[in-house]
Amino acid sequence: MISLGELSREIEHLDPIPVSQPLLAQAIADPNADLQKIVTIIEYDPALTANALKLANSAYYSPGVPVHSVREAVARLGAGRILQHSVGRMMHGKLAQACPGYDLAEEELWHHSVAAALAADNLPRYAKTAIHPVAFTASLLHDIGKFILSRHLAGEVKEEIKKVEHEHRLPYVEAERAVLGFDHAQVGGVIARRWNFPDTLADAIARHHHPRHDGENSALCAVHIGNAVAKIIGVGMGSEEMNMLADSASARSLGLTPTTLEALCATVAYELPSVVAIFEEESHGVQHSHR
């Protein structure tokens, strides 16, 4: 059976990501970083600049007034959304693969990830507290651990997890941890740190099934709610199905009520097809700089 240490060594051999992405994430996570620093990071990466301008001028985000500069794009979209879409285009190829260890067919994990990210993206419309901007990208990557762990969940290991889940009436992630000694969320946190994303983002991924242990962390609560929303609307169920504990304290900490949560689910279900199209457009043709 695979150990977390062995998986960590496997993660060390993952393809690197563009340097600009963790740099931008670090700047977003830094409350002392000014707008010019964020603009400069984007401008020094031609692919990130092109993505930002294209996104800002897309039909989904554009109110009809064209955007011509990175500064204008940041003002329209926010740096968190620019990072989210840049990472999304890069990660589409990985997250769109089938994950048989989790009973997820091709595109299912990808659509689930986009649905969770879209929920985080829309949370400010319904929440009564500010949402940390790294939540957008953390939500998109919250199940990246499944991409790595899936190949190790064949045969007896997969059956043992299901057996423990049913016999002990545990949420799937708890059964996974009982059998393996760790879960896919923790693996995702290791991946995020391997890519030098800030601790706020990595922690939100690693602990998205257990937000109750982290008080006021809006990014962590947002990722947890984003995952729950994707499940509620039936996107990317896989072997987990709806067998998870949705933390009501997270919803309350964000100022969500049953009514606003229902409205958030409806918004995500309605907007998901168009947002998936935005992420996937030219995803195989966009070149990412590794400056």
Supply the DSSP string of 225-285, one letter for each residue: HHHHHHHHTTSS-GGGTT-S---HHHHHHTT--HHHHHHHHHHHHHHHHHHHHHHHTTTTT
Residue 285 lies in a domain: no
Mean pLDDT, rounded, of the chain: 89
Average pLDDT over residues 21-38: 93
Query: Is 288 inside a domain boundary?
Result: no
Range of the domain at 116: 4-280
| 213 DSSP 8-state letter | G
Q: Which of 135, 113, 152 is nearest to 2 (CA)?
A: 152
Span 94-119, pLDDT tens digits? 999 999 999 999 999 999 999 999 99
- Give 42's contacts (C-beta < 8 A, 6+ positions apart): 20, 24, 48, 49, 52, 70, 73, 74, 79, 82
Residues above pLDDT 70, as percent of the chain = 93
Mapping DSSP to helix (H, G, I), strand (E, B) and coil, where does residue 33 land? Answer: coil
Alpha-carbon separation of residue 81 from 29, 108, 126 (angstroms): 13, 22, 17
Residue pLDDT, tens place only, 214-255: 456 889 999 999 999 999 999 998 888 776 667 788 888 898
Decide if 289 is inside a domain.
no
Q: How far apart are CA 122 and CA 126, in angstroms?
A: 7
Question: Which tens digit of pLDDT belongs to each residue from 164-201?
Answer: 999 999 999 999 999 999 999 999 999 999 999 999 99
φ, ψ dihedrals at 104, nearest 5°: -110, 120
In a domain, 70, yes or no: yes
Burial class, 250, CB count within 10 angstroms (exposed 0-12 / middle 13-18 / buried 19+):
buried
Query: Domain for residue 208, yes or no?
Result: yes
**Using CB atoms within 10 A of its CB, is residue 281 exposed (0-12), middle (13-18) or buried (19+)?**
middle
**CA 176, CA 153: separation in Å to the nearest integer?**
10
At residue 283, the pLDDT reads 55
Alpha helices of 127-257 — where are they, by DSSP H? 134-140, 144-149, 155-167, 172-180, 184-194, 199-206, 218-232, 248-253
Predicted structure pTM score: 0.90
Tell me, yes or no, whether 114 lies in a domain. Answer: yes
- Report yes or no on 49 lying in a domain: yes
Quick one: which H or E segment has residue 102?
none
Q: What whole-number distance in Å separates Cα of residue 144 and Cα of residue 186? A: 10
Please give the pLDDT value at position 287: 41
* Residue environment code for 232-243, b if the CB has 16+ CB neighbours within 10 A, otherwise e: bbebbbbbbeeb
Res. 286: pLDDT tops 60: no
Say what the pLDDT of residue 216 is. 62
Q: Which of 129-133, 249-253, 257-261, 281-285 has the highest mean pLDDT?
A: 257-261
Is residue 77 assigned to a domain?
A: yes
Question: Domains in the chain: how many in total?
Answer: 1
The structure tokens listed for 183 are 């879960």
* Nearest alpha carbon to residue 140 among 214, 82, 73: 82
Q: What is the CATH number of the domain that holds 227?
A: 1.10.3210.10
Q: For residue 245, what pLDDT is reported?
A: 64
